[in-house]
Chains A and B, each alone.
Chain A
Amino acid sequence: MATAADMRDKLRRLLDDQTSSYSQGQFWTDAHLDLALDMAQFAVVKILFDKKQWTLIDGLLKSVSGTGVVALPADYMFANSAEISPNYPTIFYRRAALYIGYPSESWDWQSSKYFARVIGANVEFRIGGLAADGRLHYVKRPVAVSGGSTHTEMRESVYDTMVYLAASILQQKDFGGTRDMPVPRHIANFRDMMKRMSSEPGGVFIRMNQSAQP
């Protein structure tokens, strides 16, 4: 389990901001560290989602279901996919097309029979022009890094990696003062770790599936 305190500690070590109790916190405050970790967290979640590394962020994958117009949950961040159950109340979901749209857009031109549309604070499930029973899979907003927060939504390695991105954000403060001097490039570490992480979990997932085979 990753904690905000652990991440802040690791971040300060990367930034070489641990030398003395006097100087610690003078150069970067805890609030700055938390903000940088949050910025890094949003970026990492989006990248891993786009790369379909869903096993790494499985704690963030949620769904909401209902009929017709359904309010988006408060923790909604962005949509993943949608399904429609054509024979409600018999629950048998089929993949639906997903649109990000406006209220006045016509349903007529939608090419799919089953579709869902995220509009403002709602999602609408439709079969053709009729309200339908459906389910929207979405990515929730991760828990913000602050104070004594604990983080279990993603794999430990993701939190370890995002600390490097946060370090490279905060490191810009060092660049500002020493523009002509070579400084450690944590962004390179971050990219390497992301690359490695992206190549691994898919393999794990396949192995899990294979082990279930007779």
Chain B
Amino acid sequence: MTLAQAISMVRVMLDEPRFEYHGSSTAANDVFIRALEDAAEFCARTYWYRGEKEALRPLETEELLVLAGDKSVTPSTPYLFVETVIGMPDDTSPTYYARYVPPEKFFSGERWNIGNAPSATRRYSGAFEYTTYGGKIYLNHPTSFVASIRVLYVAVPSIPLATPLGNQLPLAEYVHGAIVDKAAEILYRKEVPGGRRSDLGSLLDLSVLGGEG
């Protein structure tokens, strides 16, 4: 579904096809694009937690990052979920798969200060580990072993305001309906305070429609 089609359907679902409330200007389109972007991120998170990887395939990104002694790196595209971090000493040596550690454990001092030798008060697992926090990837690597990393991650779905209206929505095509539905709900809630009087937001939720929700 193209961005233009998505905006058109959101307008219909909001009873807004004649441009009475939001108008028909570029600025009005921006309102819908922002809502669609938020809805796409919501759907991406939903499908991630459901294990629906096929829906996220268009967002899967792979990037090689040179560490240069750094203990943290920032991927060029913001990540939603980091799936795998592979450490590489050079092009020919075997690679190391890093183990994920939650940030609260990672920053507790046991792993982060890897430059300091293990002691009675500072334990060290010996494994190559990473965590994700604040848009960065933190590593406990000894730099002599890992010169660069390859990060496999699901990128944040992004729809810049200048996106041509003929472009496709992010995520796989079969979940575009759910994105439109969610975007309509976001804008509906903005417009109508108080109780929920609409089916928006759950109309095209596949797990609800399929009777599993």
List residues of chain A with CB under 8 Å of any chain B CB.
28-29, 31-32, 35-36, 38-40, 42-43, 45-47, 50-51, 77-79, 100, 102-106, 109, 118, 141, 165, 168-170, 172-177, 179-180, 185, 187, 190-191, 194-195
Contact = CB atoms under 8 A, between A and B. Distances in A.
A102 B85 CA distance: 12
Given A36-B9, A173-B15, A103 B206 contact: no
| Dominant secondary structure at the B interface | mixed
Contacts of A191: 209, 211
A141 B173 contact: yes
Interface string B70-96: 000000000000011010000000010
Interface of B: 1, 5, 8-9, 12-17, 53-54, 57, 60, 62, 83-84, 86, 95, 97, 150, 152, 172-178, 180-181, 184, 188, 192, 197-200, 203-204, 206, 209-211
A100 B12 contact: no
Given A102-B84, A118-B57, A169-B203, A176 B209 contact: no
A172 B209 contact: no
A45 B122 CA distance: 55
Contacts of A32: 8-9, 12, 17
A43 B13 CA distance: 17
A104 B210 contact: no
Contacts of B172: 77-78
Contact of A39 (B17, B177, B199): B177
16 contacts: A28-B12, A39-B176, A43-B204, A45-B174, A102-B83, A102-B152, A118-B54, A168-B203, A170-B12, A172-B200, A175-B200, A176-B188, A185-B199, A194-B209, A194-B211, A195-B211
Contact of A102 (B17, B60, B184): B60
B13 A40 contact: no
Contacts of A195: 211
Contacts of A109: 97
Contact of B176 (A36, A42, A47, A51): A42
A22 to B, nearest CB: 16
| Dominant secondary structure at the A interface | helix
B197 A104 contact: no
Nearest to B62: A102
B210 A175 contact: no
Given A104-B150, A172-B12, A194-B209, A179 B198 contact: yes
Contacts of B1: 35, 38-39
A168 B173 contact: no
A109 B99 CA distance: 14
Contacts of A118: 54, 57
B77 to A, nearest CB: 14
A23 to B, nearest CB: 14
A183 to B, nearest CB: 10
B53 A77 contact: no
B16 A176 contact: yes
B212 to A, nearest CB: 8
Contacts of B13: 169, 172-173, 176
Nearest to B192: A179
Nearest to A103: B62
